[in-house]
Amino acid sequence: EAGVAQSPRYKIIEKRQSVAFWCNPISGHATLYWYQQILGQGPKLLIQFQNNGVVDDSQLPKDRFSAERLKGVDSTLKIQPAKLEDSAVYLCASSPPLRSYNEQFFGPGTRLTVL
Amino acid sequence: AQTVTQSQPEMSVQEAETVTLSCTYDTSESDYYLFWYKQPPSRQMILVIRQEAYKQQNATENRFSVNFQKAAKSFSLKISDSQLGDAAMYFCAYRSTGLVTFGTGTRLQVTL
């Protein structure tokens, strides 16, 4: 079974630029999550999708961050414009149907550096 | 809001020995899930073990076991017969009907 795929793996941009991350969850997984993990901290949930609908985005800085999950499969997370404090690893995770509360499978993450 | 506290930023254990990682949480919910995740240097997060709050029996997965004390809101992870491959960051996480909340992690070193 293929795991959660993310791209790019690394990205370096200057502040005020825009950036987008892509996630392809495990086939058949209805729930998709985006996390931000700042160095030395635990992951912080940014947004959770159930199919193509948003379940929770209460911790997403909506003035600069946006996310979508078209057709309930792939997802993109965008930052526009980026700030220095956005430097972090962005993790995508997915959960199988009926088990979204007790199992998440994580991708390798995208390491973003904002200069 | 739920909080998860891991009070040990770093721990060290000798190979083949046993180590316990601590985790406490704060919640007003009665039904929830608790998890321990392992994040090796490659950064792919892997589920180690999970515990449903309604189950009194502590979860066990091979060399990994938990000590779940619901009244004390404590959820520690015990790793027996530690191996070099156990070296990683370990995160405790809480999940209820709302957000998933992670602790700040404990870095585990395994020495020969």
Average pLDDT over residues B91-96: 92
Peptide bond into B9 cis (omega under 30): no
Q: Which residues of A touch B4 (CB under 8 A)?
A: 42
C-beta atoms of A93 and B45 within 8 A: yes
pLDDT at A98: 63
Q: Is A23 on the interface with B (CB under 8 A)?
A: no
pLDDT at A68: 95
Structure token pair of residue B52: 């449903």
- Residue ranges per structural domain of chain A: 5-114
pLDDT at A1: 64
Residue A102 has pLDDT above 80, yes or no: no
Residue A66 has pLDDT above 70, yes or no: yes
pLDDT at B15: 97
Residue that wins the pLDDT comparison between A113 and B28? A113
Query: Residue B70 and residue A74: Cα distance in Å, rounded?
Result: 38
C-beta atoms of A56 and B99 within 8 A: yes
Q: Which residues of A touch B104 (CB under 8 A)?
A: 40-42
Structure token pair of residue A69: 């999950």
- Residue ranges per structural domain of chain B: 3-111
| pLDDT confidence band for B98 (50 / 70 / 90) | low
Q: Is A106 on the interface with B (CB under 8 A)?
A: yes
Option in B44, B52, B103 nearest A106 (CB): B44
Residue B21 has pLDDT above 70, yes or no: yes
Task: Name the residue in chain B with its Cα closest to that of A39.
Answer: B104
Query: Residue A49 and residue A42: Cα distance in Å, rounded?
Result: 20
C-beta atoms of A42 and B44 within 8 A: no
Query: Residue A108 and residue A115: Cα distance in Å, rounded?
Result: 22
pLDDT at B31: 86
- Tokens 């995508």 label which residue? A92
CATH topology of domain B3-111: Immunoglobulin-like (2.60.40)
| pLDDT confidence band for B22 (50 / 70 / 90) | very high
Average pLDDT over residues B33-50: 90
Name the E strands within A1-115: 5-7, 10-13, 19-24, 31-37, 44-50, 53-56, 65-68, 75-79, 88-95, 105-106, 110-114
Taking all residues of chain A, what is their mean pLDDT, rounded to a whole number?
92
Query: Residue A19 and residue B78: Cα distance in Å, rounded?
Result: 41
Task: Name the residue in chain A with its Cα closest to that of B97.
Answer: A101
Query: Residue B100 and residue B2: Cα distance in Å, rounded?
Result: 9
Q: Which residues of A touch B103 (CB under 8 A)?
A: 42
pLDDT at A89: 95
CATH for the stretch A5-114: 2.60.40.10
Residue that wins the pLDDT comparison between A15 and A103? A15
**Residue of B7, B43, B51, B89 to mutate, interface with A, max A Cβ within 10 Å:** B43
pLDDT at A52: 85
Condensed to tens digits (0 to 9), the pLDDT of residues A41-65 reads 899 999 999 888 998 899 999 999 9
Residue B1 has pLDDT above 70, yes or no: no
Residue B42 has pLDDT above 80, yes or no: no
